[in-house]
Structures are given as structure tokens and as C-alpha cells.
Amino acid sequence: MPIVSAPPREIIERVKKLRAEIARHNYLYYVLDAPEIPDAEYDRLFRELQELEARYPKLITPDSPTQRVGAAPPKKFGAVRHEVPMLSLANAFAEQEVVDSDRRVRERLGLEQVEYSAEPKLDGLAVSLLYQRGQFTQGATRGDGETGEDVTQNLRTIKAIPLHLYGTGYPELLEVRGEVYLSKRAFAALNADAQARGEKVFANPRNAAAGSLRQLDPKITASRPLAFYAYGLGKIQGGAMPDNHSAILAQLRDWGLPVAREQKVVQGVQGCLDYYRDMGARRAQLPYDIDGVVYKVNRLDYQEQLGFISRAPRWALAHKFPAQEELTEVLDIEAQVGRTGALTPVARLKPVFVGGVTVSNATLHNQDEIERLDVRVGDAVIVRRAGDVIPEIVSVVRERRPPHTRPYHLPRHCPVCGADVVRAEGEVVARCSGGLYCPAQRTGAILHFASRRAMDIEGLGDKLVEQLVAQKLVQTPADLYTLTPGQLAALERMGEKSAANVHGAIQKSKKTTLARFLFALGIREVGEATAQTLANHFGGLDAVMQADEETLQNVPDVGPIVAAHIAAFFRQRHNREVIQRLRAAGVNWPGMKREPAAHLPLASKTFVLTGTLERMTRDEAKEKLQALGAKVSGSVSSKTSYVVAGADPGSKLDTARGLGVEVLDEAALLKLLRG
Ligand code: D41
């Protein structure tokens, strides 16, 4: 029951304290990316405040963190005039345009070199936030730059936007400009949700952000995990701001407004181009989508001197990345057979330049995906190539579907060996049942065996292995070790020199490690990490081969499914024979004393490596850590013991900080490795 009489002093104090605590944790979480308390603890504080406010409604204030979703939906958004117009950004696509722009800036300013603030260009929606005496009072979309829509109630639901500025010293009136966006993760979750409910999915995070912000009902916006980064200022009154852009951003961050942590001050055009390349390389690892970077002349007096031209400041330039999505045509669809027999449908495309390379194939993953997209031979499609990711088809452009398209279904017989294709109940993957009799699976298995992280046989590429398998020179990995230089030299595109090199590489690969060998065998579900754990746990190959499923499940991280795959692999007579022949050919690894993993100094510790190390490669660091019994994983979780961060670390470092995982630099790692 709500109490109408004046609340007791302790309650008033407690409510005040809770709001201050919640504001501080919001700041730690959204701005510094370094939460001090787990989510559950935050939720407890929040609920306590909600309960007190429910009991004493008099205590509710509009800037209470509980009041993000308040007002009822309006009929339509009101208009907001931007007193200081929201300008647009000039674009550059080629380096030369950046060089030219910098030259013009230097000529106008009469300078040899200009200092720039470089920032990621988020692919979101520009908005303006008005703070009066520290209170968030109005928020608007950019609109045409002169007039936008009043989306205050929706912006209030974005937790990264403070309802009240943090700290002190802010001007009486402060207009902050920035970008509302969706993280890649939030976008994927939103679309997965929409799909599960049979609703329309968004084509990209930008559309999803715009659609979410322009909902009349703030409850809907509140349910979308939108985020915000500040990138500039509008009108300021009753207070002063720093005299350069990077200091302004730092000041905004101190007041609780999130700023992209990738923002950086750089010197001259070379600094800009280095930043562009660096961000391009890190793009795939960033937690949000960017479509380029933005350079801004750092000093405000220079900005003023430069002014603007046709609605765009002369002091700012967006340098765009090559588009990651392009329109093209599906010429054909074919099934590819991998080393586990999995049939992957691949679309043959009319070649198109996307993500910086010419793409003529895109994976369609599996039959379900083909049906989800309803992609047919002849369709117009959007292909996407992001970073080093395999190109894929995002969607079919239905409006452009020609009259005679052909639906595709994976074949019932393996296109390579003719064996039945089977799809186990509940599985999405269809597989060739031909096993190692299927040349495609054999080729795949041998390529995997020879790959860098397995037996590391240099020069044994796919064209070569295909020939070896087709000519029946190699049927199993063991046959590699009986090949003569003469046999290799007789193959197409092989000279004597390269034949000798490949032969040498095969001989060299005989000396290996048990972990690499186990990984090389290509047992289903046994990746590098599991292979290493098995090697540590059992110490020798015979022990692994003899272990039954129950024994295998005693190995850390080996569950019933993996155990079943391992046991099934070694039960096969064919596999045991191949292993026997490999050993007879001289494949060996230094005898590991059977040292239970628990005795190793780093047993039970999990490491994640990120960024560039100076004294060793990441692979070397990984091997050294594993030799000491540590597990090295690719992703950070609450179970991670340490994250080792080299130069230019990726988002893993942020995740580690967010989870409170201890972070080591290279020096600390070296110390640890030295024991
Ligand atoms: O990240 C962005 N999308 C971004 C957009 C950014 N980092 N900086 C920006 N700076 C400006 C100026 C220089 C005009 C203040 C912008 C935009 N404008 C912008 N966003 C949409 C239109 C213009």
C-alpha cells in the first residue's frame, strides 16, 4: 500500500543514497566499461529503490533511474528545431581524398601539420541531447539537420544516456550530440528474437536502431538494447568547455556520457591514415558496427577559422571503409563436401567487389538457411564480406527476382562419391555417409592433418592433395610418409625443387607433439584445446586410445558427446591401422612423463590472449602456457583466469574488464612463464 504521509528521514536518505549508488554503477558500467559489482547486486539496489518509491510515491522524481519508461505513447512526435544546426559530414573513400582534404586544411590554416581527433564512425542514428542544470530535458533526432523529432521519452529509456549528469562543473545548458546505435551482439539477439516470433528481421544495426528509436511507444524502445556514444556539442550556455575536441570528449566522459574508447588524437595526415588502417584491421573485433572513421581538426579555434561549406564543416571528414555489402546474382548453387562429410551449399555468384576483394562464392551454410532466405538460382542477393569472415548471403532482393528462378535442394547422394547423404534427426547438417572412402572427405582429412596447427606440413595445399587423392597415391595420412620426391615431382604444377621442399616438410613433420597429433587425426569435436587437454591428462597415445567413454569423461571439459566421438574413432579398425602405420613411419613426439595435469604449475588456469605480443607470437605464447598445464581459450568468460593483453588489444580486453578478469601485460606473462 502506498503511504501518503511524509516519508521518514531515514527513508529519504536511503532513497538518495540508492540513487547515487545506481548512478555511480551506471557510470562505471556504461562510461568506464569497468563495473565494480555483478549484475545481480545492481538489480538488488534497483529493486530496493523501486520498492521504496512504490511505498512512498512522493519520493519519485523524473530523474530517478526507475523512471526511464514513464509517459504514455504520444500520437506523433513533436518537432524540435536545432538552434545550432546538426551539420553533415563530408565523405572520403580513397586515401588521396584524405590527403587532399588535409592539404586544403593546412593551406587555409597556414600550418605544416595539423593535429586531428580520430574516432570510429558508428553506423547508427545521430541525436541531440539537451541537459539543463544537469538534467536531461529534451532529446531529438537529427532530421534534416535543422529540425528533428522529439524522441525524449524514447531516449530516456537508453540506459547509457544519463538522466542526470555525473559530477560537477557542467554548463547550465549543455547540448550533446552523438550516435544512438546497437551493438553487434544486441542486433543479433534482436533479430533472433524477431525471427523466433515470425516477425520481420532488420537488414542492419542502423535500421534496427532507427526503427527502435522511432517507436511511438517508449516501452518498445525500452525493450531494445540501444546504446549511445557522444561525439560533439551543440549549444552551450552558462559555462565553459575546453578549447579542443579531444578534451571536450574527455570532459563529457567525466560527466557520465559514454565516448568511444577507440577515439584517439593523431598527428597529421599520416596519423589519420595509420588510424584508418588500424581500425580497419580491428573492425571485425569491435563490439559495434562501424562504416569508417572520422577525422576532426582538434583545436576549436582552427575549426572556427575553417568554418563550413554547404552544411558540412571543413574541419571534419568521414573516411569510409569499402562497403561490406553488395548486390549481385546467384549463378548456381553447388554442394561442397568437407572433411567430416558435411555438405555445405555454396552459391556461385556473379563476381562483385565487396569488403575490399572480389567475391564469387558465398556460403549458404545448410539447407535450413537456404529455406530461411528462400534463395534460388537466378536470384538477386545481397552478399556480405566482413573482415576475414567467409562471404555470405544476407538476403534475397525479392523485388528483383526474375521470372525463372530455380529452388535448390541438397542432393540425396554425395556429389563426389555417390554415397547416401544423411541428415540425423535434430541436426542441421547433412553428411555424406561415404566416410574415408569418399575422396572429398579423404582430401579434407589429409588437408586438416597437414594444416599449420596440426602436423604443420608446409606446401601441402589443396591442389596438391586433390591430385594425390585422385591418383590414389595417398588414401590416408599415413601414405604421405611413403611418398617419394619423384612421385611428387611427377604431379602437375610441381617442379623438382618444390617436390623436394614438400618431401622435406613431410619428413620434418614426423617430429611433433602428442597434442598436435591428436588434433591432426580430425576426431569429431576434438579441437586444439581438447587435444591439448587429452595430451596433458593421459600423457601418451596408448592411454588415450584405450580409454573408454567413462574414463574420457574424467578429462576436464570432455562431456558425453565428445567422449563418444573419441571412443568411436579409436574403435574403428581402419583408424587404428592408420595410427599404427604413422608410428611405424617414424611419427613421434617427445615422451611425456605421464604427469597428471594437476601437478603442472598452471593447471586449472584458463588464459585468453589478445593483441600483439612483442617477444613472441600468440601461438608461441599459447604453446608455452599449455606446456605448463594451462588452458588457452579463444573467448573471455567469468571462468577465465587471466587475459593477456598485448599491443592493440581487441574487445576481449573490454570483456575482461567488464567481468573483472585479471589482465596481464607481456612483462607479467614472461614472468609467469619463467616461473
Ligand atoms: O560516429 C559517427 N557516426 C559520427 C557522426 C561521429 N563520430 N562524428 C560526427 N561528427 C559530426 C560533426 C563533425 C558534424 C559534428 C558525426 C556527425 N557529425 C554526423 N552524424 C550524422 C550526420 C553527421
CA 82 to ligand 1 centroid distance, Å: 15
Q: What is the side-by-side strand order in the sheet with 606-610?
A: 631-633, 606-610, 642-645, 662-664
Query: What residue ranges do the domains of the chain occupy?
Result: 9-68, 90-320, 325-422, 435-508, 514-584, 597-674
Is residue 495 scored above 70 in pLDDT? yes
Altogether, the residues listed in the chain come to a count of 675
Burial class for 340, CB neighbours closer than 10 Å (0-12, 13-18, 19+): middle
pLDDT at 621 over 70: yes
User: Of all residues in the chain, what percent carry a pLDDT higher than 90?
Assistant: 69
Q: Which of 128, 179, 303, 311 to mutate to test the pocket of ligand 1 (most atoms within 8 A of CB)?
A: 179
> 101 pLDDT exceeds 90?
yes
Tell me, using a 6 A CB cutoff, whether residue 102 lines ligand 1: no
pLDDT score for 531: 94
Residue 432: φ, ψ to 5°: -75, 135
**Do 371 and 388 meet the contact criterion of CB atoms below 8 Å apart?**
no
Confidence of residue 597 (pLDDT cuts 50, 70, 90): low
**Per-residue model confidence as pLDDT tens digits over 214-232:** 889 888 888 899 999 999 9
Contacts of 244 (CB under 8 A, 6+ apart): 117, 298, 299, 300
Query: What architecture is the 597-674 domain classified under in CATH?
Result: 3-Layer(aba) Sandwich (3.40)
Confirm if 163 and 135 have CB atoms less than 8 A apart: yes
Question: Residue type at 77?
Answer: F
**Alpha-carbon distance 376 to 396, whole Å?**
9
Q: At 598, is the pLDDT very low, low, confident or very high (cuts 50, 70, 90)?
A: low
User: What cell does 127 get?
Assistant: 541525436
Q: How many CB atoms lie within 10 A of CB 292?
A: 22
The class of domain 514-584 in CATH terms is mainly alpha
pLDDT in tens, 44-88: 999 999 999 999 999 998 889 998 887 677 888 999 999 999 999
pLDDT tens by residue, 377-415: 999 999 998 766 789 999 899 989 999 999 999 999 999
d(CA 392, CA 361): 8
Give the model's confidence band at 593: pLDDT under 50 very low, under 70 low, under 90 confident, else very high: low
Which tens digit of pLDDT belongs to each residue from 524-545?
A: 999 999 999 999 899 999 999 9
Helix (H) or strand (E) holding 24: helix 9-26
Q: Choose which CATH entry (3.40.50.410, 1.20.1260.120, 1.10.287.610, 1.20.1250.20) describes domain 9-68.
A: 1.10.287.610
Q: Is the pTM of this model over 0.85?
A: no
CB 69 within 8 Å of CB 222: yes
474 pLDDT tier (thresholds 50, 70, 90) = very high
When pLDDT is cut at 50, 70 and 90, the band that residue 147 belongs to is very high
Give CATH for domain 90-320: 3.30.470.30
Q: Whose Cα sits closest to atom 20 in ligand 1?
A: 126
Task: Report the residue among 294, 296, 306 best suited for mutation to probe ligand 1: largest number of ligand atoms under 8 A from its CB.
Answer: 294
Tell me which of 1.10.10.10, 3.40.710.10, 1.10.150.20, 3.20.20.330 is the CATH number of domain 435-508: 1.10.150.20
Catalytic residues: 121
* Nearby residues of 390 by Cβ (< 8 Å), 6 or more positions away: 362, 363
Residue range 325-334: average pLDDT? 94
89 lines ligand 1 (CB under 6 A): yes
Ligand 1 center from residue 92 Cα (angstroms): 14
Predicted confidence at residue 385, as pLDDT, reads: 87
Answer whether 232 contacts ligand 1 (Cβ < 6 A).
Answer: yes
Atom of ligand 1 nearest to the CA of 312: 14
Distances (CA, A) of 628 to 11, 114, 352, 601: 55, 50, 48, 6
Ligand 1 lined by 119 (C-beta under 6 Å): yes
pLDDT at 617: 85
Question: What CATH number does domain 325-422 carry, 3.40.190.10, 3.20.20.100, 2.40.50.140, 3.30.70.260?
Answer: 2.40.50.140
- Mean residue pLDDT across the chain: 91
> Quick one: which H or E segment has residue 126?
strand 125-132
Give the residue-averaged pLDDT of 456-464.
93
pLDDT band at 375 (very low <50, low <70, confident <90, very high): very high
**Beta pairing, strands 357-363 & 431-432:** unpaired
Are 435-508 and 514-584 the same fold in CATH? yes
User: How much is the pLDDT for 483?
Assistant: 94
Q: Check residue 180 and give its pLDDT.
A: 97
The answer, yes or no, to whether any atom of ligand 1 lies below 6 A from the CB of 179, is yes
Query: Would the pLDDT of 611 be above 70?
Result: yes
The residue-averaged pLDDT of 508-518 equals 95
Tell me if 126 CB under 6 Å of ligand 1.
yes
Whether 88 is in the pocket of ligand 1, judged by its Cβ within 6 Å, is yes
CA–CA separation, 279 vs 291, rounded Å? 10
